[in-house]
Structure 1
Amino acid sequence: MTVNIIGAGIGGLTTAVALQRKGIKVQVFEQAAELKPVGAGIILANNAMQVYEKLGLKPQIENHGNPISSMKITAPSLSPLSCVDLKYFETKYNCQNIAIHRGALQQILIEALEPNTLKLGYKLAGIEASDKESLLKFENSKEISSQVTLGADGLSSTVRKNLFPNTKIRSASQVCWRGVVDISLPPKFQNELNEAWGKGERFGFVQIQSNKVYWYALKSFKTNPSEHSVEKLSHYFSVYNDIIRNIIESTPTKNIHTATIDDLKPIKTWFKGNICLIGDAAHATTPNMGQGACQAIEDARVLSECLSKYGVIKAFEEYQKLRLPKAHQVVNTSWQIGKMAHWKNPMATKLRDQLIKMTPRNISRKQSEQIFKLETV
């Protein structure tokens, strides 16, 4: 059996590594002609790092990233509203949260693959599905007969459109800017994620290497995201702490990536026949919990376990049964957090900040426990 994976993002590459560790033959087809490191970071939460520990990749990731021991929601002044202390989970699972450049993680995963696994310049044009095999048609005129196909091709998945053409992508009506900048943070901020909430916008930053910081900024828009310009970032966050303003002003505009925030309205079925969806193709989420890639990484572990134990259809059934409830919980909770974080009414934001301050730490810990605990396969 050969498993053909469409898409070489974090989810697709991790799934390929996990399947090869089980002795399953894999090919990964990526539409890009070359894989360029995107100028953005990623936070690999404890659940993702548990998976990478099982795959033997934890040391390499730790060596190329920066450990994060707390996550804070703050006021624009960086005065803390809440803090999730991650040391408890570091001890419990023997894994730290790691902030790392996406390009560095991507390279670690590619190097972990067997030779000739990754095929570049293969953009999927369509699928002719049948009971036993599917015909994958690519825009480079190549056609491949596939016994098992996994769609890891993201929010705008071509595989998903072939399987389930009536799925809905939802706009959060938020524009997001991301960047990586060479800058030195004060020592107290070097091992924590900070996200400052304002009125209709927020700003987060985290150190990913020595003197290198990944940051993101979000702002609500009413009708058209172009109403917000990257050139006005300093103005949008002018009342925020000096550290935030310095991060923005130190990042060349050409190195700032702009995108709108969308997710996939939850779907009840992730597979049809011998074709199955993973990661964002199955359950794309807004980034408000830092769990988008982490949930794809969990998919990789569960699906590789299931395919090594069961026949294809049974494996897909078990994978969906195990992963769908948690993935959908993340999607729905993240959507709600994103809306609350962007309240604009001064009275509402004041009440919101007070409620965040008053939330007992044991509740925050319990919520984190639900996210960090891996399913038993």
Structure 2
Amino acid sequence: MRSQHQQIQRLNVMSSATGEIVQEIDLRAQGKRGTHEARCVSRTALLLALEEELPRGTIRYSSKIVSIEEDGNAKILHLSDGSTLRAKVLIGCDGINSVVARWLGLAKPSDSGHTATRGRAKYPDGHGFEPRFLQLVGQGFRAGMVPCNDTDVYWFFTWSPSPDDKDVDKSSAATKQFVLTKLRSTNVPPQVLEAVERSEMNDVLAAPLRFRSPLSLPFASISKGNVCVAGDALHPTTPDLAQGACTALEDAVVLARCLGEALLLRTGDCAAEESHRVVEAALRRYADARRWRSAQLTGASYAVGFVQQSDHPAVGFLRDKLLSGVLAKTLLMMPDYDCGTLSSSGAC
């Protein structure tokens, strides 16, 4: 993964109203647990890397869960293709519209009031940009661009839609034109405009941003019996801290460790009921370990996005003059977290 994705060295936060850099941070700074390392990783590359670690045939595609039925301690999963699966343990990683989260009774994700679009610009002969993350704040939107490697640049744009924006997400062409119009009305660098213009139409997507209220997570039913949730099914969040996939990987490490320790402690050919109790206890430990971290991330991400995007004069003044450093450093503080290792000697 490191060989495919460039390490980002700096974060520059720019006011889109004035074009001035209001904060600059070294993304290689020393954290509590070592030197920070920031890279813009392709989702496809990450998924392929994870898939390669699994035995062939482990992943079953086009298998969306429609409903869950109980049969004793087992769970019967009814899939969209009409087939069924019988599960001794059910870990719901089925995204923001999770059927498993709904079965557990978790609060429905809330509308953040923001919409986001993103794209990838390709420079076949090389883009020549410095390894820095440029972030634009204010004027009612939040945007940014960051190189992924020598030829690809990722960009994003979030805003609070108005009634006049109702047709923006009707087509990728309309979305792209909307972003360019907004950016051209402000003091953004020309390379940002170029990156958006270079994006292929199928690379430009738009969607409303939703998140699970952090107030609901500390006491939420993250696990019940032999069922739990992880990833976006647990903590759907706005992308303002760029920690969605990272947090899902944290979930995976903690969950695997808790289950691994529980299975190692089982005594020989234990009865099915005892095995169920062992798994249930392991999932409870996982839930307890992840609920506060999940609440912290979803809350911080929403707060950062709200302040950085606001076009209110008072908020803008505080952001540019007083809070820019705090907001930028949050990007380093939140990932500076140790979820432990997969070693069975660690605690959940």
In 2: Cα distance, 1:360 partner to 1:204 partner: 15
* Aligned residue number for residue 209 of structure 2: 261
* Aligned residue number for residue 38 of structure 2: 97
Candidates 256, 270, 283, aligned match of 1:304 = 256
Offset of residue 73 of structure 1: 2.2
User: Contact (CA 8 Å) 2:104, 2:221: kept in 1 or not?
Assistant: no
Amino acid in the other structure paired with 2:295: H
Alignment partner of 1:232 is 2:181: no
User: Contact (CA 8 Å) 1:67, 1:96: kept in 2 or not?
Assistant: yes
CA change 1:141–1:151 in 2 (3 A) is same
Give the % identical residues: 23
Offset of residue 130 of structure 1: 4.5
Partner deviation per Cα, 1:112-169 (whole Å, 9 max, x = no partner): 21111111121211111255211111122211211001000111111112221x6222
Amino acid in the other structure paired with 1:288: D
CA change 1:150–1:92 in 2 (3 A) is closer
Alignment partner of 1:330 is 2:297: yes
Alignment partner of 1:292 is 2:238: no
* Aligned residue number for residue 322 of structure 2: 355
In 2: Cα distance, 1:103 partner to 1:93 partner: 27
In 2: Cα distance, 1:261 partner to 1:302 partner: 27
Amino acid in the other structure paired with 1:118: I
CA change 1:167–1:348 in 2 (3 A) is closer
* Aligned residue number for residue 338 of structure 2: 374
Q: Secondary structure at the match of 1:119?
A: coil
In 2: Cα distance, 1:169 partner to 1:224 partner: 25
User: Contact (CA 8 Å) 2:33, 2:336: kept in 1 or not?
Assistant: no
Alignment partner of 1:127 is 2:63: no
Alignment of 1:83-162 (within 5 A): 83-89=24-30, 92-93=33-34, 96-162=37-103
User: Contact (CA 8 Å) 2:67, 2:78: kept in 1 or not?
Assistant: yes
Alignment partner of 1:171 is 2:111: yes
Q: Tell me which moved more, 254-263 or 224-233.
A: 224-233
In 1: Cα distance, 2:95 partner to 2:5 partner: 24
CA change 1:191–1:273 in 2 (3 A) is same
Q: Secondary structure at the match of 1:118?
A: coil
In 1: Cα distance, 2:327 partner to 2:82 partner: 58
* Aligned residue number for residue 140 of structure 2: 200
Offset of residue 212 of structure 1: 0.8
CA change 1:118–1:159 in 2 (3 A) is same
* Aligned residue number for residue 273 of structure 2: none
Amino acid in the other structure paired with 1:374: D
Offset of residue 223 of structure 1: 5.0
Where does structure 1 lack aligned partners over 5 or more consecutive residues?
A: 1-60
Alignment partner of 1:68 is 2:8: yes
Offset of residue 375 of structure 1: 3.3
TM-score normalised per structure 2: 0.82
In 1: Cα distance, 2:286 partner to 2:62 partner: 29
In 1: Cα distance, 2:51 partner to 2:68 partner: 26
Offset of residue 360 of structure 1: 10
Offset of residue 370 of structure 1: 5.1
Offset of residue 301 of structure 1: 0.4
In 1: Cα distance, 2:208 partner to 2:223 partner: 28
CA change 1:133–1:223 in 2 (3 A) is farther
Offset of residue 99 of structure 1: 1.3
User: Contact (CA 8 Å) 2:12, 2:21: kept in 1 or not?
Assistant: yes
Candidates 251, 265, 278, aligned match of 2:199 = 251
User: Contact (CA 8 Å) 2:116, 2:158: kept in 1 or not?
Assistant: yes
CA change 1:329–1:370 in 2 (3 A) is same
In 2: Cα distance, 1:285 partner to 1:150 partner: 19
User: Contact (CA 8 Å) 2:36, 2:332: kept in 1 or not?
Assistant: no
CA change 1:78–1:312 in 2 (3 A) is farther
* Aligned residue number for residue 265 of structure 2: none
User: Contact (CA 8 Å) 1:90, 1:96: kept in 2 or not?
Assistant: no
Where does structure 2 lack aligned partners over 5 or more consecutive residues?
A: 169-173, 263-277, 341-346
Amino acid in the other structure paired with 2:227: I
In 1: Cα distance, 2:83 partner to 2:167 partner: 42
CA change 1:324–1:217 in 2 (3 A) is same
